[in-house]
């Protein structure tokens, strides 16, 4: 197996003629690696939704976590600003998301990656061009929340 790591700006990388040949002959092309968000749930999303549901069912989530998840799921695919997310949680958002991460990381089968925050598979933190931080639910969280709500 070959791994290629490219460092540089897009303009610099486009200037390298061999790069296009490497990408075309590589079994996994750069376009295949690009993740385009869609409304359809993939097998990975379905598997992650099951893990999230297991984490939610382990013990009743506190009102702050319930409020945040419900608001994010209702807003999906749109994102919430930090102020909107904190209003939904009734607390500072960092602590609520950290609590969700602790809840999820103890679920058997949850991805274990040293550099990852456990909650990133449920809630995405994004910063737009204006520097405004927004929080968005993943399709897996939306699916799990829908199942959790119907169960009780």
What confidence tens digit (pLDDT) does each residue in 32-67 have? 333 334 445 566 788 899 999 999 998 889 999 999
Q: Cα 56 to the chain's mean position, in Å?
A: 16
Tokens for 14?
A: 């486009």
For 15, the 3-state DSSP assignment is coil
pLDDT for residue 113: 72
Tokens for 79?
A: 């994102």
- Evaluate if pTM is beyond 0.95: no
Least confidently predicted of 17-26, 98-107, 122-131: 17-26
Same domain, 30 and 48: no
Domain extent, residue 60, equals 43-151
Helix (H) or strand (E) holding 128: none
Same domain, 52 and 5: no
Same domain, 2 and 22: yes
Q: Are 147 and 54 in contact (CB under 8 A)?
A: no
Pair type for strands 123-127 and 133-137: antiparallel
Same domain, 99 and 126: yes
Mean pLDDT in residue range 88-117: 85
Q: Are 52 and 142 in contact (CB under 8 A)?
A: no
Residue 30 has pLDDT above 70, yes or no: no
Q: How many domains does the chain have?
A: 2
Report how far residue 42's alpha carbon sits from residue 37's, in angstroms, rounded to the nearest whole number: 10
Same domain, 17 and 90: no
What confidence tens digit (pLDDT) does each residue in 6-24 have? 666 666 666 666 666 655 5
Residue 124 has pLDDT above 50, yes or no: yes
């Amino acid at each position: 197996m070959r791994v290629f790591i490219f460092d540089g700006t897009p303009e610099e990388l486009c200037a390298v003629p061999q790069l296009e040949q490497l990408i075309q002959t590589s079994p996994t092309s750069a376009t295949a690696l690009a993740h385009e968000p869609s409304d359809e749930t993939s097998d990975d999303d379905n598997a992650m939704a099951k893990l999230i549901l297991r984490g939610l069912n382990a013990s009743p989530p506190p009102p702050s976590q319930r409020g945040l998840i419900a608001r994010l799921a209702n807003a999906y695919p749109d994102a919430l600003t930090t102020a909107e997310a904190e209003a939904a949680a009734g607390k500072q958002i960092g602590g609520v998301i950290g609590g969700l991460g602790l809840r999820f990381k103890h679920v058997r089968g949850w991805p274990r990656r040293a550099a990852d925050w456990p909650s990133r598979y449920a809630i995405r933190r994004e910063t737009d061009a204006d520097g405004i931080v927004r929080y968005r639910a993943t399709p897996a969280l939306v699916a799990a929340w829908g199942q959790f709500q119907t169960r009780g």
